[in-house]
Amino acid sequence: MNDVELREILSIEVTVLEFWIEQSWIVPDMTGGEPSFRDADVARGQLILDLLDRMGVNEAGVDVIMELIDQLHGMRETMQDLVRAVRSQDEDTQMKIFRQTSARQIG
């Protein structure tokens, strides 16, 4: 979707979207030269609005929260890669990894 569509969905002004992009709270895909937004950007925008308007979080707080969310998503992707890598191993190796990680959780 383009910026006009995103702004309509979120009911925000041009300057608000420009600020969010400046802050890297929303990062449009610039493939093709024009900014393009995904459903995930709509969800991020809704979260930003909730944080600012409904929860009273200030801009510095939104910075921290969005950075933490991005870190969590990055860790999730890393964990998915790790799970795929473990699943590609033979059963003995998978069991060794399982036992090693289980021992850390218990001890």
Query: Are 105 and 72 contained in the same domain?
Result: yes
Find the range with the poorest average confidence among 30-34, 91-95, 102-106. Answer: 102-106
Number of independent structural domains in the chain: 2
CATH of the domain at 15: 1.10.1660
Domain match, 9 and 53 both: yes
Residues 67 and 32 in one domain: no
Asked if residue 38 and residue 77 are part of one domain, the reply reads no
Say yes or no: 44 and 68 in one domain: no
On the question of pLDDT at 105 being above 90, the answer is no
Q: What is the pLDDT of residue 51?
A: 97
58 secondary structure, DSSP code: -
- 42 and 73 both lie in a single domain: no
Indicate the pLDDT class of residue 107, thresholds 50, 70 and 90: low
Shared domain for 49 and 84, answered yes or no, is: no
Residues 50 and 5 in one domain: yes
Produce one character per residue of 32-51: b if its CB has 16 or more CB atoms within 10 Å, e if not.
eeebbbeeebbebbebbeeb
Cα–Cα dist 17/19, whole Å? 5
Q: Decide if pLDDT at 11 tops 90.
A: yes
Query: What digits encode the pLDDT tens for the residues 17-76?
Result: 999 999 999 999 998 888 999 999 999 999 999 999 999 999 999 999 999 999 999 999
Higher pLDDT, 20 or 102: 20
- Quickly count: other Cβ atoms within 10 Å of residue 67's Cβ: 12
Q: Which domain range does residue 102 map to?
A: 58-107
Q: Mark which of 57, 75, 98 sits at the end of a domain.
A: 57
